[in-house]
Amino acid sequence: MSERDDTELIRDVCGGDVDVFENLVVRHGKTVSSVVARHVPHNEVEAVSHDVWLRAFKSLHTYSGRAQFKTWLSRIATRECYDYWRRRYRSRESTFADFAPGSAADWVEQVTAAASTEAYARAVAGAEAREILQWALARLSAADRMVVSLVHLEGLSVADSAAVLGWTRVNVKVRSMRARRRLRRIIEELEDQP
C-alpha cells in the first residue's frame, strides 16, 4: 500500500474506504507533528496534532490536488495552531511553566552536564531566552503570534505566510510590523519589572 500515491489514497478514503486514511496518517504524521510543535507548547502537541487529523479527515473531500497533499496538510496544521492560540488568548490560560521544555529536573540535569562554565552560561541564556520568547508570544493575539512565528521565527516569505494564513500580502506585512512592536513592548515591560 505504501507505493500508492496520496491522490489514490485520498480517492479511496472519499470513496468510503476510511481505513485507508491510516496510511496518510503514518506517511505524514511527522510533518503534522513538526508544524504543530513549532507553534504550540510542548505539552499540547499531541492534542493539537490529533485535532489537525480530525480536521483533515472531515475536509478531505475538499482537497483539489492543486497543491501537494503535504502542503495542504501543513496549511491545516498551521490554521489549527492559529485556532488553538485564538482560544487560548480569549481565555488567558497560559502560564510561564507551559513553555518550559520538559521538566525542571531534566533541564537542570542537561545544564549541569555541560562540559564547561561557558557552555553552561550559553545553555542557561538560550533556555531562558526561548522561555521568555514563548511567554511573550503567548501574550499576543492569535493572529499576531502566528504572523510573527511564520515570518520571523520560521523565515517564511511574506507570500508564503499569506498563502498559509489565507491573508493578503499587505495584511501579513502590516500585521507583522505591528506584532513585532507589541512583542517588543511586552518584553520591555518584563525587563522593567524589579
Q: Give the residue, 174 or 130, on which the prediction is more confident.
A: 174
Closest CA to 134 of 106, 173, 95, 77: 95
Residue 25 is part of a domain; what is its CATH number?
1.10.1740.10
Query: What is the residue-averaged pLDDT of the chain?
Result: 82
The conformational region for residue 40 under phi > 0 = left, psi -120 to 50 = alpha, else beta, is beta
Residue 101 lies in a domain: no
Band (pLDDT 50/70/90 cuts) for residue 122 is low
Residue 153 lies in a domain: no
pLDDT at res. 1: 44
Q: 134 is written with which cell numbers?
A: 514563548
Taking the C-alpha atoms of residue 68 and residue 66, their distance in angstroms, rounded to an integer, is 7
Residue 127 lies in a domain: no
Q: 20-54: per-residue pLDDT in tens?
A: 999 999 999 999 999 999 888 888 999 999 999 99
Residue 123 lies in a domain: no
Residue 164 lies in a domain: no
Number of domains present in the structure of the chain: 1
Residue 129 lies in a domain: no
Q: Phi and psi (nearest 5°) for 146?
A: -65, -40
Residue 34 lies in a domain: yes
Q: What is the span of the domain harbouring residue 3?
A: 1-93
Q: 49-78: per-residue pLDDT in tens?
A: 999 999 999 999 999 888 889 989 999 999
Residue 77 lies in a domain: yes
pLDDT at res. 66: 86
